[in-house]
Amino acid sequence: MDEAFVWLCNRSGGGDFLVIRAGGTDAYNPYVQSLCHVNSVATLIIPGREAANDPFVARAISSAAAIFIAGGDQANYINCWRDTPVQLALDDAIHRGIPIGGTSAGLAVLGEFAYSAQNDPPDGPDLGSPLALANPFHPQVVIVHGFLEIPELRGVITDTHFHARDRLGRTVVFMARILASSDAREIHAIGIDPHTAFLLDRGGRGVVAGTGAAYFFEAATRPAVCRPGAPLTFSTISVRRLVAGEKFNLSKWAGDGVGYTLSAVSGMLHSSQANGAIY
C-alpha cells in the first residue's frame, strides 16, 4: 500500500531501504523506488538458518535505514531466523529506532506473541476460525513468544487478511490460549484488513490508513473453557474497529472507532453490536 511505504521511507532519513523475506523475488524494489527518495532499495532473501548465520546478512540489516518484512509463511521466519544473527540484528535495529514494517506473514511476526503456523501443511489450508474455535488446542494453533522486541507491541499478537479470510475467531482463540497459559495476565491483539495499515509511531500513537479496517482487542479474564478437544468459551473481549484516518494509542489502549464486546460460547462468537455483527 503506497501510503504505508511512503510513511516508512519518510522515517528512514533517506538511507537504505531493505526488504527481507525467506523466499520470492525482488519485485518490491522498483515499486519502493517509484514511491520514495532513498539512497537505495534492496531485497535480501534469507531462506534458511545457514543463510541467517552468514555475516553479510547481519551487516545488511544493521546498515538499513528502514526495514520491511515481506509476506510468505511466518513459520519460515520463526524457524529460520530465530536465535540467529538475523533476530539479533532486527532487535538491535528496533532498539536504535529504525522504522520497521511488514505485510501478511511479515506483520504476523511483529508482536511479542506470534502465530507461527508451524503445523500448517506446505501450501495447505489456512487455519480457519471455525476449526480453531472448535478446538483451541488443534495442532495448527501454535503460538511463539518473543521473536521480536518492539516495545509498543509488548503483550500484543497480530493477524492479517482479517475480515477477508474470517480470522476473527482464530485471533480470539490465540488470545484465550495466551491467557490460559499464564504467559500474560492481559492480552491485546490487532487485526488488519487487506489494503490497510496501522502506522505506528514510537510511543504507541498510530493512525489507520487504507481501504479496510483495523481491529484492536483487549482481554484480561482467563477463558472459562479452553482445553483440548472442547469448543472455546471465553467472555469479555473488548473490540474497537477503526477505519482510515482514525487514531489509536497502544500505550493507553484507547482511540477512535466503533467499540463493542465479543464472547465465545461453546465455539460460537457473539457480539454486543445491535445487529449482532462480529466485525
Helical H segments across the chain, by residue range: 2-10, 28-35, 49-52, 55-62, 74-81, 85-95, 105-108, 129-134, 168-181
**What is the structure's pLDDT at 125?**
66
pLDDT in tens, 148-194: 999 999 999 999 999 999 999 999 999 999 999 998 999 999 999 99
- What gap in Å lies between CA 208 and CA 192, rounded to an integer? 9
The model scores a pTM over 0.75: yes
pLDDT in tens, 78-113: 999 999 999 999 999 999 999 999 999 999 999 999
Q: Which whole number is the average pLDDT over 48-56?
A: 97
Which residues 6+ apart lie within 8 Å of 243 measured at CB?
A: 208, 212, 213, 214, 257
Name the residue among 188, 195, 203, 124 with its Cα closest to residue 160: 195
